[in-house]
Chains A and B, each alone.
Chain A
Amino acid sequence: MLETLDERLGLDDEQLLGLYRRMLTIRTFEERVKYESSAGTVLGPTHLYIGEEAIAVGVCAALRPDDYITSTHRGHGHAIAKGCQPRRMMAELFGRETGVCHGRGGSMHIADFSVGMLGANAIVAGGIPLATGVGLAIQLKQSDQVIAGFFGESASNRGPFHEGLNMSAVWHLPVLFVCENNQFGQYTYASQVMLVENVSERAAGYGIRGLTIDGNDVMAVYQAAREALEGIRRGDGPVLLECKTYRMEGHNVGDELYYRKPGEMEAWKQKDPIVRFRACLQTWGALSAAQEADITAEVQAEIEEAVAFAAASAYASIDTIYDDVFSSDYQVTP
């Protein structure tokens, strides 16, 4: 547990509070989305990141603004951590024209190319070959950028995981494969559908480095990511970073959690990443009560504004449904 790590990995108070704030923003955003989804204002299937915030925040803190990420159906946390505006995300979830994808994508297809967030993918493991391709492009451009491709442990059972990691390995592509092992693949325990306990064991199959860390410890995630990315930027090739966590909510809003073992969630609540980090910051004296109250209030206000903004925004006109199937070079015939 990170309480014993008293070097703050070179981060000053502001940076540490930034980690905290971002995790809290994600948590507050997701809790509000849960409410709005039940109210019907957030449309469609919604997959909450509650309990996993440390992974997105820790990894993205190690990335540069010109680095990229690919994400999953459970992508709100990745998006906020990479720098997407909550108001434009909320508007997207509300299906409004002001959303980051103009209401075309929704929760499962959040994307903001302006901050290097190259899209949430509703196909499990769908983003892995894309991350491979992004890494290939970076290599061909001879740049030292990197891409972090997020996916769940159950994605590692799909073909594209195998193909994407293998190909990235062979070509030494600058990809950080971040496996968020939250114990569940939809309504099934991951342990029921794979025999290896740690997904990182699979890295050996591709000849690359794999490691498993505590995904609920933002500093541990940050440290592991930072270290891996140094090598990746140097051209050492991809790394498989498995972050163990727990999906505190159901797979989707409305999931009745009929399959969950009793008592398990309560046990994991003790390891809540935000609670732990708050305690850590308080131990380091980096977070006063006043600061905590301020940050909490600011985050709340930001989310409130995001909802208000979304609710006040109009839907896109139906005249636009044929736009952006192709570039302007080609027209779709109705």
Chain B
Amino acid sequence: MTTAEMTAPAQTAVRTITFRDAIREALLEEMQRDPSVFIIGECIELRSAWRTTKDLSLMFPGRVRDTPISEAAIVGAAVGAAMLGMHPVAEVMIGDFVTTCMDELVNQAGKMRYMFGGQTDLPMVVRIPTGMVKNGGAQHSQTLESWFMHAPGLLVAVPSTPYDAKGMLKTALRGRDPVLFFEYKMLYGIKGDVPEGDYTVPLGQARIARAGTDATIITWGSMTHKALAAAETLAAEGRSVEVVDLRTLVPLDTAAILRSVEKTHRVLVVDEGYRPASAGSEIAALIAEKAFYALDAPIKRLASPPVPKPFSTPLELATVPQTDDIVRTVRELF
């Protein structure tokens, strides 16, 4: 993705801020810019469980509302409001809870435009803090974005840096389509360079987080950072590894994936979700279909094994791909 595809004001200060502050900045700026943007969710009025909406209710009275614990109503209300042309942001506090509003996401938000023959836009964003937290246990640790690749009509964003988080959330809030905006909780505290003021990052475009020639790692979200650490280790061994951060799963930047595989001929897909029938599976299948003759070794995938996340630390760590696992698996490509 080139700088030409991003919008940025001519003179901006760039500061190093956290992922969560980047999210908050996007919400704040878009609420200033567009009076139809509002936020509903559990415990968000004061600051949200993740501190991403801190003080926004003071700045925009009535437009940042705490809801009862009612994900179905939260997401359903976002659909209804979007049908009237508002730009709702619904927060599903923890990604595991998407199960409680699956109908509203899959059968309502994803289908309205199509089954009504294009009579309505659906400009809504569902923000979903997702993925591992330390010792979260089986029902608070999952990352289920793969399910939504399987549901037509939903866009799925998975930024991995503060820069992308702010820019992509702005794009989502200016769009006309439902966006499931997955925010990896483990990344809330990481810091990155973020320009002050307005800029956008398009959905559906991957970025080359690290260029390389010998092998490709395709990944997104929190795994991007582990992949980069692994690439650093492998560089010392003389292996030049390219890391492709997808940033979006729907639409998938298939062209970027194939370009990288055509260049390096070896690929590992790293997915924090469960391995079976995951986003990683879809990507691996696409590569096999479209870049078969470029492959010099079988495609490899790393993902969480299909077990509920155990609570105890050593067990938990063993059920998620770690940097060492990535290093070891890349070596097996040769």
> CA A140 – CA B86 in complex, angstroms?
9
> CA A110 – CA B86 in complex, angstroms?
22
Name the B residues within 8 Å of A126 (CB-CB). Answer: 76, 103-104, 107-108
| Complex interface bits, B79-114 against A, C-beta within 8 A gives 1, otherwise 0 | 111111110100000000000000110011000111
B254 → chain A, closest Cβ, in Å? 7
CB <8 Å contact, A331 and B73: no
B63, CB-defined interface residue at 8 Å: yes
> CA A140 – CA B84 in complex, angstroms?
11
CB <8 Å contact, B73 and A164: yes
Known: A126-B108, A134-B80, A329-B176. A119 touches B116 (CB 8 A): yes
Known: A163-B68, A326-B153. A129 touches B117 (CB 8 A): no
Chain B's closest residue to A169 (CB) is B68
Name the B residues within 8 Å of A135 (CB-CB). Answer: 80
Name the A residues within 8 Å of B112 (CB-CB). Answer: 119
> CA A103 – CA B116 in complex, angstroms?
9
Chain A's closest residue to B175 (CB) is A329
CB <8 Å contact, B175 and A129: no
Known: A100-B117, A126-B108. A133 touches B68 (CB 8 A): no
CB <8 Å contact, A138 and B84: yes
Known: A171-B65, A326-B155. A166 touches B116 (CB 8 A): no
Option from B68, B75, B118 in Cβ contact (under 8 Å) with A170: B68
B249 → chain A, closest Cβ, in Å? 13
Name the B residues within 8 Å of A99 (CB-CB). Answer: 117
A112, CB-defined interface residue at 8 Å: yes
Q: How many residues of B contact A (CB 8 A)?
A: 50
A78, CB-defined interface residue at 8 Å: no
A11, CB-defined interface residue at 8 Å: no
Q: How many residues of A contact B (CB 8 A)?
A: 51
Name the B residues within 8 Å of A167 (CB-CB). Answer: 67-68, 70, 73-74, 77
Most A Cβ at <10 Å: residue of B40, B113, B119:
B119
B78 → chain A, closest Cβ, in Å? 6
Name the B residues within 8 Å of A324 (CB-CB). Answer: 113-114, 117-118
CB <8 Å contact, A136 and B77: yes
CB <8 Å contact, A333 and B120: no
A42 → chain B, closest Cβ, in Å? 17
A227 → chain B, closest Cβ, in Å? 24
Name the B residues within 8 Å of A284 (CB-CB). Answer: none
Name the B residues within 8 Å of A248 (CB-CB). Answer: none
B307, CB-defined interface residue at 8 Å: no
A332, CB-defined interface residue at 8 Å: yes
B333 → chain A, closest Cβ, in Å? 27
Known: A105-B115, A160-B72. A130 touches B83 (CB 8 A): yes
B177, CB-defined interface residue at 8 Å: yes
Option from A102, A112, A129 in Cβ contact (under 8 Å) with B118: A102
CB <8 Å contact, A136 and B80: yes
Name the A residues within 8 Å of B72 (CB-CB). Answer: 129, 159-160, 163-164
Most A Cβ at <10 Å: residue of B104, B203, B252:
B104
Chain A's closest residue to B123 (CB) is A327
CB <8 Å contact, B175 and A327: yes
Chain B's closest residue to A101 (CB) is B117
A74 → chain B, closest Cβ, in Å? 17
A207 → chain B, closest Cβ, in Å? 12
B327 → chain A, closest Cβ, in Å? 33
Name the A residues within 8 Å of B116 (CB-CB). Answer: 101, 104-105, 109, 111, 113, 119
> CA A126 – CA B74 in complex, angstroms?
13
CB <8 Å contact, B70 and A166: yes
A194, CB-defined interface residue at 8 Å: no
> CA A171 – CA B73 in complex, angstroms?
13
B203 → chain A, closest Cβ, in Å? 8
> CA A119 – CA B85 in complex, angstroms?
15
CB <8 Å contact, A330 and B177: yes
B298, CB-defined interface residue at 8 Å: no
Name the A residues within 8 Å of B148 (CB-CB). Answer: none
Return 7 A-B CB contacts under 8 Å, by A number.
Answer: A112-B119, A129-B104, A133-B76, A133-B88, A160-B76, A326-B113, A327-B175
The 9 closest A-B pairs by CB, nearest first: A129-B76, A133-B80, A133-B77, A163-B73, A163-B70, A101-B117, A102-B117, A324-B118, A130-B80
